[in-house]
């Protein structure tokens, strides 16, 4: 089946678009680009990956992960950190230093292949292991 349209952006509402774009630029690469109309819209083209948009939202309320009864998760981003837990450990140290906060670090003895964090605006994201082929 032919697609109806091509995905252009994944957009995150937030209180400070440039600050959040800078956070994700340090996590995934790329350079934030502020819209010519002002800092209410910032775009980050992730090298070899998707384009992320960051949009100012007055009165922004972050999701409350994992609660579905109050503002829910809304969505989350997954990042491949490497094939081993040592790679995930190293990535975890870096995202925490950048301002992320842990939400769920229990990998259940290796049964889960991810750990969950919140970005500085409260959006959940995961650092995942990449299974070796």
What is the three-state SS of 35-95? CCCCCCEEEEECCCCCEEEEEECCCCCCCCCCCCCCCCCCCCEEEEEECCHHHHHHHHHHH
| No. of helices (H) and no. of strands (E), the chain | 2, 8
Residue 117 has pLDDT above 90, yes or no: yes
Surface-to-core class of residue 113, CB atoms within 10 Å of its CB (0-12 exposed, 13-18 middle, 19+ buried): middle
Higher per-residue confidence, 21 vs 39: 21
Contact 67, 87 (CB under 8 A): no
Candidates 81, 10, 100, 76; CA nearest to 46 is 10
Q: Which CATH class is domain 9-57?
A: alpha beta
What percent of the chain is modeled with pLDDT above 90?
58
- Tell me whether domains 9-57 and 75-133 share a fold: yes
Residue 133 binned pLDDT confidence (cut-offs 50, 70, 90): low
- Tokens, residue 27: 């996590």
Enumerate the domain spans of the chain: 9-57, 75-133
Task: Tell me the pTM.
Answer: 0.84
Name the CATH topology of 75-133.
2,3-Dihydroxybiphenyl 1,2-Dioxygenase; domain 1 (3.10.180)
> Which residues are CB-contacts of 26 (< 8 A; sequence separation ≥ 6)?
94, 98
Residue 124 has pLDDT above 80, yes or no: yes
Supply the pLDDT for residue 3. Answer: 77
Q: What is the mean pLDDT of residues 18-28?
A: 97
31-84: pLDDT as tens digits:
999 988 788 999 999 999 889 999 999 989 888 877 766 655 567 888 999 998
């Amino acid at each position: 089946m032919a697609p109806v349209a091509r995905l252009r952006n994944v957009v995150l509402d937030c209180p400070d678009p440039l600050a959040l774009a800078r956070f994700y630029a340090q996590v995934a690469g790329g350079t934030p680009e502020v819209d010519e109309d002002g800092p209410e819209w910032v775009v980050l083209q992730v090298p070899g990956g998707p384009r992320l948009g960051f949009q100012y939202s007055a009165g922004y309320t972050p999701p409350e992960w994992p609660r579905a009864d109050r503002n829910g998760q809304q969505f989350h981003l997954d990042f491949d950190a490497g094939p081993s837990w040592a790679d995930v450990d190293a990535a975890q140290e870096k995202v925490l230093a950048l301002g992320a906060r842990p939400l769920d670090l229990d990998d259940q003895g290796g049964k889960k292949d991810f750990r969950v964090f919140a970005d500085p605006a409260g959006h959940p994201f995961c650092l995942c292991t990449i299974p070796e082929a």
